[in-house]
Homo-oligomer: A and B are copies of this chain.
Amino acid sequence: MTHEHIVQAFDDELDDLIAKVLEMGNRAQKQLNESITSLLEQDLDLAQKVISDDRTIDQLELEVATAATEIFALRQPMAADLRSIVAAFKISSDLERIGDHAKNIAKRTATMKQVPLVAEVGSNLRHASKLVEIMIEDVLQAFVRRDAEAAIKVLRADQEVDQLYTSMFREILTYMMEDPRYITASTHLLFIAKNIERMGDHATNIAEQVYYVKMGHYFEGERENADQAATVIVE
C-alpha cells in the first residue's frame, strides 16, 4: 500500500469506530425512552423488547473494544486521533452501562404491574428521563465534533437531573410513610429513579472524555454533585 492508501485505511477505521459508538449511543437513548414508556404504560411486551435488545449494545461494546485494540496495534495513532480511540473505548463502557440501567427499569415493569403504583411520580420520572436523553444526544454530537464547550454544557445539565432525583427520593419516601401498601412499589420506583440518575452520570463521564479528546488533558473544574439523596431524612 502507498502512504496515501494507509492514511485512507486508517481514516476509514477511525470513522467505523466512531460510527459504532454512535450506534451504541442511539440505541442506549432509545432503550432509556422505551424502558420508561414500558413502565408508565405498563407495557410488558415493550419491557421484554428492551431486555432482549440490551444484548445488541453489549455486543457492540465488545466490537468497539476489539476494533480500538486493533487500531492501537496496527496504526500507531498519535495525538487527537489516539485520544479519540481511547475515548471511544471508554465511552462504549458508559453507553453499555446506560443500556444496563434501561434493562433494569424494564425488569421492574412486570413487578410494578402487581403492586399499587404511585402515579404522581410518573411525570417526574418522564421528565428526568427526557433530560438524560437530551444529555446523551448532545454529548454524542459533541464527541463527533470534538466540541469541548458543548461537553461542558452536558456536565452542567446533570445538576438538574441530580436535583430532580433528590426531590423524587424525598417524595417517594413520603408516600411510603403515608401508606405502607405503597412500600414495595415505592422501593422499586426509588431504584428506577436512581437508574435514571446514574445514566446522567454516565453521560457526564462521556462529556469528560470529549473534553479530553479536544483539549489533551482531563477536565479540572470541580464536578458539581447535586445528588443529595444520601442525606435525605423523612420523619
Contacts and interface: CB of A to CB of B under 8 A. Distances in A.
A187 B189 CA distance: 12
Contacts of A62: 218
Contact of A86 (B72, B78, B183, B218): B72
Interface stretch (A6-14, A109-117, A131-139, A147-155): A109-117
B230 A188 contact: yes
Interface stretch (A17-25, A121-129, A156-164, A172-180): A172-180
Contact of A82 (B73, B82, B83, B177): B73
Contact of A115 (B72, B77, B86, B233): B233
Given A82-B72, A86-B72, A93-B93, A173 B187 contact: yes
A184 interface: yes
Contact of A184 (B184, B194, B234): B234
A86 B111 contact: no
A118 interface: no
- In the complex, the count of this chain's copies comes to 2
Contacts of A177: 180, 183
A41 to B, nearest CB: 18
Interface in A82-112: 82-83, 86, 89-90, 93, 104, 107-108, 110-111
Nearest to A86: B69
